Chain A
Amino acid sequence: AQTVTQSQPEMSVQEAETVTLSCTYDTSESDYYLFWYKQPPSRQMILVIRQEAYKQQNATENRFSVNFQKAAKSFSLKISDSQLGDAAMYFCAYGGGGADGLTFGKGTHLIIQP
């Protein structure tokens, strides 16, 4: 079974600075997808960024980018120029391996200091 580990329960960053959230996963599959989701307090889960395992190029969406290291099974999220609206729980998720549901990590609570 696939597992996803987020080793940082909480991270804090000053507004306008850069922060990196860590995620590692375990799988025996070669073809899969990885996602970062954002869940603001009392609000719904929002897809931030996705990465296909077969692509070597790291995904980027505006201020959000990933560092995908397939051999190390690592998938970190970098948020540049942090904004107050980035404050939320961030979940790393794995999709693939014949299981159609996503496997999520426990999340990282990101605090933005003004």
Chain B
Amino acid sequence: DTGVSQNPRHKITKRGQNVTFRCDPISEHNRLYWYRQTLGQGPEFLTYFQNEAQLEKSRLLSDRFSAERPKGSFSTLEIQRTEQGDSAMYLCASSPSTNYEQYFGPGTRLTVT
């Protein structure tokens, strides 16, 4: 069990550029979650997949954000036309069942300059 992995770990981009992050969940977990965490705050839920189906999206997920999990394994989170307010840690978590117990990856820290 290698745990949840995320790449890249750090990303610096200029405002207006597009960025894409990848999450690889624990292999037997069929549920995958994305969160955003800003400094001094707890993680905020963005979206959730069960297998390849995106079942829930937070109102925080603006039209510039899109997430996919094409084969029910890894997932990508894309942010288009980045803004300085998008600077945050983006966390991915996976879960094996409906008991809400989620295992987190190390996160991708995004800095928009």
Interface on A for B, CB 8 Å cutoff? 4, 33, 35, 37, 43-47, 50, 52, 91, 93, 95-96, 99-107
| Shortest Cβ gap from B25 to chain A (Å) | 14
| Shortest Cβ gap from A111 to chain B (Å) | 16
What are 25 pairs between A and B in contact, CB < 8 Å? A4-B42, A33-B99, A35-B101, A37-B104, A43-B106, A44-B104, A45-B43, A47-B101, A93-B42, A95-B100, A95-B102, A100-B33, A100-B48, A100-B56, A101-B33, A101-B45, A101-B46, A101-B47, A101-B56, A102-B102, A104-B42, A104-B43, A105-B42, A106-B40, A107-B41
Question: Can you name the residue of chain A whose Cβ is closest to the Cβ of B45?
Answer: A101
Known contacts: A33-B99, A101-B48. The answer to whether A91 contacts B56 by CB under 8 A is no
| Shortest Cβ gap from B80 to chain A (Å) | 22
Q: How many A-B residue pairs have CB under 8 A?
A: 64
| Shortest Cβ gap from B67 to chain A (Å) | 13
Q: Are B58 and A101 in contact (CB under 8 A)?
A: yes
Question: Can you name the residue of chain B whose Cβ is closest to the Cβ of A100?
Answer: B48
A101 vs B48: C-alpha distance in the bound complex, in angstroms? 7
Known contacts: A44-B105, A44-B107, A45-B91. The answer to whether A102 contacts B43 by CB under 8 A is yes
* Further 15 A-B residue pairs, CB within 8 A, beyond A95-B102, A104-B43: A35-B100, A44-B104, A44-B105, A47-B101, A47-B102, A50-B99, A52-B99, A91-B42, A93-B42, A95-B100, A100-B48, A101-B48, A102-B35, A102-B43, A102-B45
Question: Can you name the residue of chain B whose Cβ is closest to the Cβ of A89?
Answer: B42
Partner of A104, one of B44, B46, B58: B44
- Chain A residue numbers with a CB within 8 Å of B100 are 33, 35, 95-96, 100, 102
- Chain B residue numbers with a CB within 8 Å of A96 are 100
| Shortest Cβ gap from A92 to chain B (Å) | 8
B65 close to A (CB within 8 Å): no
> Which parts of B31-62 form the interface with A (CB within 8 Å)?
31, 33, 35, 40-48, 55-56, 58
